Structure formats: structure tokens, C-alpha cells
Amino acid sequence: MRLPEFQKILQNKNIDLAIFLKADHDHNHPDILYFSQYPGAGALVIPGKNRPFLAVPKMEQSVAAKSGFKIIVPDERARLLEKIRAELRKQRVPIKRIGLNFSETTLAMKKALQKHLKKARFVDIGKELQELRMLKTPEEIKVIKKGFRIADSILKKAIAGFSAGSSVNSSGFRTEADVKAFLELEASKNGCSLAFPAIVASGKNASEVHHATAATKLTRGFCLIDFGIKYKNYCTDCSRTLFLGTPSKKDIERYSLVLKAQEDAIASIRKGMRCKSIYARAIKSLGKYARYFTHGLGHGVGIKIHELPNLTSQSKERFQNAQVFTVEPGIYFSDFGIRIEDTLLLINDKVEILTKLPKKLVVIRRFKWQ
């Protein structure tokens, strides 16, 4: 997306070219997706000055062509890296200093690169890439907003589906897996994939922050839902906590405390402020419950579900315009958990909440116990 800026960075650092190699089938390479939107196997090469190109296996040629980039296809015997070297020589690009994203490059890939590009030195440009991807362009923001609209509508439907006799889901949700399946089917119907497997955790399971949702029956009490999709490669992220049955006064107090901590944290965000300062603020808001808050307050969201900025006690970033990030305090006891998570966009010095579902505690009194 911000290719000219990236090439400028390479030039300033005297880097001849950057190579992005996909590790394997499971590896969603964020930089390849960011610059080219190409999802398949192969490599993206961005010289500091010349035109970038994709090197892809023959079978991926037609998919890669959609990127609009120049495509080179290694023939049966010539391996990918040999072909890339030949192409760079043809373009007269020097191959001395090569930029790699060290966070996305395995030791095995580096070994292969060293074998084929013998005189090259490798420079870590991971930080520069993360910082580049952290600030979204207007085109990215348009896509991201559309993704959040879709995700919101799906989560809204799922929440409505909890009430007995709802038209959304007339058979009713019986297990956590039913809710998860509903969310994921709706994502698929909308042509989206998942940013992560949806989490639906009621009762004891909610105390596991990253609970693997299974065919466990939904139980009375808080039910935590964490759901995110990928729309055109960009992730969304939102958590809401419902109550199944009738909450006690203490339940309502605890929910209100988490909600207040979340809203206070959001309200305190200012451009230029250190991100870690709002983590400290959330700890303060949670008071005696702070020891039940066991994860970071939030994280950037983009092509990866966890990007910059970090909203933890260790964070080094400051809030800037065009960042997209979550604010998600939560408390976890042995028999339940409460988390409320919004994703925000900082734009024109103001915070815009991308996850627009209400945060007032949704109480499902008419839950159909099965």
C-alpha cells in the first residue's frame, strides 16, 4: 500500500532490496499481503529503486497476476531463488544488502537465501515494516471499516439468537460450539474468513482467556464472546460478555466495573500520549480486581490480528493518527470471566469506535435451557 515510502526507507538505509518469502502453506505473510494482496506461495521482491516483482510457482500464476505486479515463474528445475537472482541481475539490481522482516523469516529461509545469494548481508527491517503497517492509509481504512460493519452485524445476529424463540435461531443455542458455528457460518456467508477461531466461553470456561470452544453446554452466568473476521485481508476484533439467566447485584457490579475501566481508558486516549499510560490507568480503574486482569489492555489490528501499537506495560509506542487498536480490559475468576473489547481508530486527533455494538450488559433471561 505505501510502496513508495517503503522504497524510500530502503534507499535511506542503503538496502538494495527487500525479499519476503512465504514460509509455508499456513504462513500468512503480512508484508506480501500488505504490498501485493497476493495470498499464495512464493516470494515478493522489492528493490530500492526498480519495480517490485512476485516470484510464484506456475500453478499460482493466474492468482498472482491479479496483484498487477510483474510475475516471474521458475521453470520446473530452476528453483525460486535462482530465478529471483537471475531477474535481479537482468534488472541490474545490486544484491549486497538485503532487507528481511526478521519476525517473518525463519532460520531455514535465511540459510537458503545465503546459499543462493552468497555475498549478501541481511538487515532486519521488521520494525520499519511494523511501523509502516501500523499507520493505515485512507484506502485501508475504507476496507477496515467495511470489515467492522460486517463483523458487527454478525455478532449482533448471534446475540439476538440467544433469546428463546428468536427468529434468528429458532432452534436455540445449546452449546458454546453452536454459537461458534453460527458466527463462523455467517462470516463465511459474507465471503469472509476468520481473524481467529471464535471464542465462546460460559461458566468455568470463561476463566481461560483463550479458551478453545468445545461442545460444552452453555451454563448460567456470564458468557464471553470474542469474534473477529478477515475482510479483504484485514482483521476485525470485538468481545462482548452477556449474562445468561438473572445476574446478582455482585455480577452487575463486576460487569459495570470492567465497563467503566474500558470506557475510562478509551476516554483518556490522546494523540501523542504513551500507549502504556492507558494500561496503567486501566489497572487503577480495576482497583482490587486488577489482579484478575491477566493480559495486555490492547493491541494494534491490521493484516495480523496482533500488530502495533501495543497497549501493555512494556509498550514503546505513542498514540498516532491512523492507528487501529483494541481496548479490552477483562477479569477472570475460577468460574467466570468478563471482557469488553472495542477496536478503535485514531483519526483527526479523535478516537472513533469501529465496533459499534452497545456495551450495556445484555441479560438473556429467556434463555432456552436445553
Site residues for a copy of itself per CB under 8 A:
23-26, 28, 39-41, 57-60, 62-63, 76, 100, 102-108, 110-111, 122, 124, 126, 177, 180-181, 184-185, 188-189, 191, 193, 196-197, 207-212, 214-215, 294-295, 304-306, 313, 332
Please report how close the Cβ of residue 276 comes to a copy of itself at its closest, in angstroms.
13
Please report how close the Cβ of residue 270 comes to a copy of itself at its closest, in angstroms.
26
Indicate the residue among 7 and 205 with the shorter CB distance to a copy of itself: 205
Measured from the Cβ of residue 328, the count of other Cβ atoms closer than 10 Å reads 24
Indicate the residue among 203 and 247 with the shorter CB distance to a copy of itself: 203
Closest listed residue to residue 20, CA positions, set 40, 2, 49: 40
Please report how close the Cβ of residue 8 comes to a copy of itself at its closest, in angstroms.
23
Indicate the residue among 54 and 351 with the shorter CB distance to a copy of itself: 54
Indicate the residue among 91 and 175 with the shorter CB distance to a copy of itself: 175
Angle of the 138-160 helix axis to the 176-189 helix axis, nearest 10: 140
CA angle 145, 151, 154 (to 5 degrees): 145
Please report how close the Cβ of residue 74 comes to a copy of itself at its closest, in angstroms.
12
Indicate the residue among 70 and 232 with the shorter CB distance to a copy of itself: 232
Indicate the residue among 86 and 215 with the shorter CB distance to a copy of itself: 215
| Greatest Cα-to-Cα distance within the chain, rounded to the nearest angstrom | 73
Please report how close the Cβ of residue 88 comes to a copy of itself at its closest, in angstroms.
21
* 83's grid cell: 530465478
Q: Are 368 and 165 spatial neighbours (Cβ–Cβ below 8 Å)?
A: yes
Distances from the Cα of 293 to the Cα of 228, 243, 246, 362, angstroms: 21, 19, 24, 22
Indicate the residue among 28 and 50 with the shorter CB distance to a copy of itself: 28
Q: Are 198 and 227 spatial neighbours (Cβ–Cβ below 8 Å)?
A: yes
Closest listed residue to residue 288, CA positions, set 253, 313, 314: 253
Length in residues, the chain: 370
Please report how close the Cβ of residue 242 comes to a copy of itself at its closest, in angstroms.
20
Q: Are 264 and 285 spatial neighbours (Cβ–Cβ below 8 Å)?
A: yes
Helix or strand run (H / E) with residue 180? helix 176-189
Please report how close the Cβ of residue 25 comes to a copy of itself at its closest, in angstroms.
5
Indicate the residue among 102 and 271 with the shorter CB distance to a copy of itself: 102
Q: Are 299 and 311 spatial neighbours (Cβ–Cβ below 8 Å)?
A: yes
Angle of the 275-286 helix axis to the 249-267 helix axis, nearest 10: 160
Please report how close the Cβ of residue 198 comes to a copy of itself at its closest, in angstroms.
9
